[in-house]
Structure 1
Amino acid sequence: MNKIKIQASRCPDAYALLFSYYDSFLSRLKKVSDPDGVNCEAFYEEMHEQAKQLIKTHPNKALIRRSTTNVLNHCKRSLTSQKGNAHILESFKTKISAVLEEIEKNVQKIATYGARAIAQGNRILTMSNDYLVVRTLFEAERQKRRFEVFVLKTDPPGEGLELAELLAKKKIRVTVIPDSQMGICLPDVNLVLIGPERLYESGFIHRAGSLPLALTAKKLNIPVYLLADTQTILFERERSIKFYPSDEKEVYKSRNKNIHVMNYYYEKVMYEPIYKVICEDGIFEMKEFNNWFLTE
């Protein structure tokens, strides 16, 4: 597997969290020299508990829920197969590797399709530090496209700075924009890229600031593209949408008890401002994507 390692310590997306989760268990499985000395059920329970904690902490990162459920169901069946430890542990390792390969396969497809949307001389605006956006920009750069990127700082906690550093290391021209100044920058932009964490019936979940970004871009006739694996589709009727507040001190620490602070990392965005969706199956206009993937 040839996935690109991306550090996203401030506000990791589903890909960063999944890679960390799978890599930790896969590396341990590869180091096993005596399978009979491993408690397979305890190993499975550790995987299960860590996955539960990830889902609880990040309830709207749909890819984590779908991917870990797939792996854990397989591992649970292996435990009841009456096979020896060596077979069970090899089954665990093979499944995790296969899932990582499938994730990378879809990421590469999305990046390849996404690069087609980037024309020579494009001025692109994005926010946060979305893995699919990064891979799409890297793919466009690999294809010798010349473009410029404007990155909203996405504060708090400001992970857009991490994206800017990544792009700069690739010699991609990049400018960091304070979130409050997106309206100043947007008139000079001709493409917006967003990598949502979850798609549902009437909208998507992404970092706070995505809603004003999408609405302003729509008003200025700037196309907004979503980059998303279809595994991020999780209908609200299946799982409710939950938002948890983050540390208030990231915004403001006051000694005055009459000052209240609000700090949420994620928000809902309706599909109306979205021009097209790029997934592993191709590039779809929003209405077409809705008909194919969001309507039952």
Structure 2
Amino acid sequence: MKNGDWSPVHAFPVKKHAEAGLPLYNAGKNSAFFRLSWQDISLPDQLAWIPPGRFQMGSPEDEPGRFMDEGPTLKAVVPHGFWMDRYEVTQKNYLNLMGENPSNTEFSPDMPVNRVTWHEAVEYCMRMTDSKRSAGLLPKGYVYRLPTEAEWEYACRAGTKGAYSYGDSADKLSEYGWWAGNGGDQPEPVGKLKPNPWGLYDMHGNLFEWCADAYVAYPDGSAFSTSGMMKVLRGGAYYCPSNILRSACRAEAQQPDFRWILAGFRVVLAPPLGQAED
């Protein structure tokens, strides 16, 4: 899209422009259009907008079920807004893009893909970026990639401060996530339970989700770490006890080439790593 062209207002909600730092020009009173000096945007509804912000990363020492590596808590900064997939990547979407399905379950289009290595998840994101760019559907300055650990916890918490995105007690966990208390012997189709306050499903449970980061002790508040061999997995899975599904839990970091039945992922549409932390 050229500078000065007009875009339908639903293509990018007006209130999001200030959060994303995008220039906006009013098209006039009662107009259904706005003008961007950036580019036209067409994004699928399954992407949820995550505004920039600051939050307390990790868990307090008195949080039941916490692990030592969740502290000390730190003030983490997510300086750029981004979009996150409302759902874990499904077998259908993975098969369509990658040409194979590594899952150990019978094919089901809405089932989250599992047994995906970190390297394969990164490759999926790269292919999605290339595909959307070729189709003219990639916003300038953004790529599809794995979330950083800070981005993941920030999105999971969705502005909350408790053990879970809905509160501190595990009593309502089965309303939001698949875990040992309600899960079976395999993951469930995505999006069957309640979302968190920002419209993200299965952030608690179903499958662990790969993050971009290496697993290291918490740094000084930056949003991304590259040092270390193990890669972060977040969220817990369908067979885990409730404390593994807490927003701050860092359990089960793994080698990036590890193929695990409990590991899946979801994508974000965000500035490239390195730029996302500026």
Shared fold, TM over 0.5: no
Which structure has the higher relative contact order (CA within 8 Å, separation 6+)?
2
TM-score range, shorter chain: under 0.3
TM-score, structure 2 as length reference: 0.25
Q: Which has the larger radius of gyration?
A: 1
